[in-house]
Chain A
């Protein structure tokens, strides 16, 4: 579920600030998809705040003509947020409850907007012939591509001539859910085995890309910058991260083959689901 990050005006002692705070609190009481933003935390770029801010649809509540909320949201990189002007939306009533009602009415189109979500692909149109080992558990179907090697950190390696390609396993993409941001390092970067090289952020978590072997990154999947959802939709193919020229191909002996990884991932999946049931 994509959350709505409501950023109320911070002028608490002013009419616009009071109304915007009351609006945010009322929405948070009545809906389960609301995050109330903090101008202070956003200004200081606190990690937790930035995570919510980046992962949500942003709705700024500007309490007066200085537009502090929307200006700050813009300054922090979100110019796609909705902006509601409290003086315009609240009307001329003196009654706080009535003002709150008017503002929530004015926000309705933003609140009900649903981000068009790509449906999970059941048939990958693959650039490679991919065959899978599959195992069903609960509502999950775990797919492990044959012919690849896997790290216990849930990244795959495919040998392609003298180089290798790496990406995230289907299990990892299912666990982290919808990826909305990927930060990759530049070609030429050297990594040692299990170094992190970039990160991906989903609506649930930030995960480092832990590279399963040593080598020099020679190619980066730049299409992930604009289409991070490829990691979810096509983890073993279009969602790859890097092509690497390995330092020592023998390092791959430390990784798992597909059948061993399937057992490992299945056990991990059971534990993850067990945690949610607790």
Chain B
């Protein structure tokens, strides 16, 4: 294993984190910012989210901080406004990237 591969945040399963499109997708039609409470922002310890400046809604600020395959924030959302990519598709991308090495 090279030195770079051992850095968390930069790789996941030996694949560069930037090549893995895994982060939450916020439905701004549903998100109401929990009336300023921002449950997802408070819940996630990885600084993935930040509140939108001009409204009481949330956006993804650091997508690559998101832990691949973790969907816990979506379950905390009272408006069911957070979704994630399909895990099988992400796993396929990871396998392809590993095979290309």
Contacts and interface: CB of A to CB of B under 8 A. Distances in A.
Given A47-B39, A194-B87, A271 B70 contact: no
B78 interface: yes
Interface string B34-76: 1001010011010000000000000000000001111110001
B13 A152 contact: yes
A219 B76 CA distance: 28
Contacts of B70: 153, 208, 210
A153 B69 contact: yes
Given A46-B34, A268-B8, 5 more contacts: A46-B78, A153-B67, A153-B68, A206-B72, A207-B72
B19 interface: no
Nearest to A193: B91
A249 interface: no
A125 interface: no
A274 to B, nearest CB: 11
A152 B68 CA distance: 9
Contacts of A47: 39, 43, 76, 78
Contact of B45 (A48, A205, A208): A205
Interface in A184-219: 192-196, 199, 204-208, 210
Contacts of B34: 46
A267 interface: yes
Task: Rank and list the top 3 A-B pairs by shortest CB-CB distance, nearest first.
Answer: A268-B8, A47-B76, A194-B69
Interface of A: 46-48, 152-153, 192-196, 199, 204-208, 210, 254, 260, 263-264, 267-268, 271
A48 B39 contact: yes
A211 B40 CA distance: 23
Nearest to A196: B71
Nearest to B40: A47
Nearest to A265: B8
A264 B69 contact: no
A49 to B, nearest CB: 9
Contacts of A199: 72
Nearest to A207: B72
A106 B4 CA distance: 58
B78 A267 contact: no
B7 interface: yes
B88 A271 contact: no
A194 B84 CA distance: 13
A264 B87 contact: no
A208 B6 CA distance: 23
A24 B9 CA distance: 41
A192 B37 CA distance: 34
B30 interface: no
A208 B12 contact: no
Contacts of B37: 46, 48
Given A47-B43, A153-B70, A267 B7 contact: yes
A232 to B, nearest CB: 18
B18 to A, nearest CB: 15
14 contacts: A46-B78, A48-B39, A152-B68, A153-B67, A153-B68, A196-B72, A204-B45, A206-B43, A207-B72, A208-B71, A208-B72, A254-B95, A254-B98, A260-B1
Nearest to A268: B8
Nearest to B45: A205
Contacts of A192: 87-88
Contacts of B45: 204-205
A36 to B, nearest CB: 15
